[in-house]
Amino acid sequence: MTTKPLLIDTDIHPNASSARIMDFLPEPWRTRYAGGNRSSTSLGWWNPNGVNRPDAVTDDGERIEGDPYLLARHFLDAYGIDYAVLITGGTLHLGLSPEADYAASVIAATNDVMIHDWLPADDRYRYALAVYPNDPELAVREIHRYGDHPGVVQVQMPSAARIPYGQRYYHPIYQAAAEHNLPVAIHPGAEGVGLSGPPTAAGFPTSYLEWHTGLVATYIAHATSLITEGVFQKFPTLKFILVEGGISWLPPILWRLDKNWKALRVMAPWVDRLPSEIAQDHFLLTTQPVEEPENPKHLHAMLDMFDAARMVMFSSDFPHWDGDAPDFAARQFPAALRARIMGETAAELYGLQQREVA
């Protein structure tokens, strides 16, 4: 037996069967869900590419992401992926629903489907446990329900929010995650939906192009809030993963935050060292959608400006329209960083072991 470099995909989107969700959903929510009234909806920006790749189907027309065995055979096997973190996209919009009990119940039923149907199907799967963050008590209950399951590797929340994630309102969620040694991750897609505010600080954009480009502002806001509110002083073991938010924005915002903290540190006395040092110890980012400058050296220069070897993890975002296959993503990074980004950093974070191959 030999070993190969680890390849860990930190963002794959399975489609949990609606019929199976209903199997785990109690009344009165089951009848409502069956009627099709399921979550806060998007604002309707048109994407000419669709959300999911149209070619992610088998020869007989089955969607690959809709079945754990098809996903394993046609994606994990095809690329030699050692582990895959599954993130359910439908729970992101539910996380912004104003109807807490209904939304939390559907999210919990979705978690049940993933735990009972998907994780047993292939030992390479790991799961991002979805929660409803706008009622921390309900989120904490869900974390305690499945937080010790060996297949659960993180807590997942939408990046869209009604207030920045550093504020004390959310601290019970972080406490519960820390008790189970789980990182907390956020994922975009619901900005502007339900309880969240406008997708940009200037208001509502008018196209998917504008909306999608501006999502990085949400990540800047949350990262700044988490640091300045002292979340990582209160929860020193907590890791926070910024999924699908890009990479190159991080060094400039940390420079700005460091500079401002030196002059205004009296306003956040709990921040006991440079914000950039706190970020280095507590934040991780995923690669997709990686910036693709015309000159690749420009991206490499940005990676030199922070501890990319410890803070960046590969993600494909399969089967979404703008996903990055592992071979494509690996080529974007300097050779010295590839092993770390493509697998080693995620293995350390999630406690995953090297797999042997024949």
Report pTM: 0.97
Instruction: Quote the number of domains for the chain.
Output: 1
The pLDDT assigned to 149 comes to: 98
Q: Which CATH number belongs to the domain containing residue 275 in this structure?
A: 3.20.20.140
DSSP state, 207? S
Joined together, the tokens standing for residue 119 give: 């994780």
Spell out the per-residue pLDDT of the chain, length 358, in tens.
567 899 999 999 999 999 999 999 999 999 999 988 777 777 778 889 888 999 999 999 999 999 999 999 999 999 999 999 999 999 999 999 999 999 999 999 999 999 999 999 999 999 999 999 999 999 999 999 999 999 999 999 999 999 999 999 999 999 999 999 999 999 999 999 999 989 999 999 999 999 999 999 999 999 999 999 999 999 999 999 999 999 999 999 999 999 999 999 999 999 999 999 999 999 999 999 999 999 999 999 999 999 999 999 999 999 999 999 999 999 999 999 999 999 999 999 999 988 766 5
The pLDDT assigned to 204 comes to: 93
Residue 211 identity: W
Per the structure, the complete domain to which residue 39 belongs is given by 2-357
The pLDDT assigned to 50 comes to: 86
The pLDDT assigned to 26 comes to: 96
Joined together, the tokens standing for residue 352 give: 């995953």
The pLDDT assigned to 2 comes to: 61
In the block, residue with structure tokens 């995923």: 286
| Cα–Cα separations (whole angstroms), residue 343 to 26, 200, 213, 303, 320 | 39, 33, 27, 17, 21
Ranges of beta strands (E only) in the chain are 2-3, 8-12, 83-86, 125-130, 152-158, 184-187, 240-242, 283-286, 312-313, 356-357
Q: Are strands 125-130 and 8-12 parallel, antiparallel or unpaired?
A: unpaired
The pLDDT assigned to 355 comes to: 76
The Cα–Cα gap between 72 and 123 comes to: 10
| Cα-based angle 250, 199, 302 (whole degrees, multiple of 5) | 15
In the block, residue with structure tokens 């993933």: 114
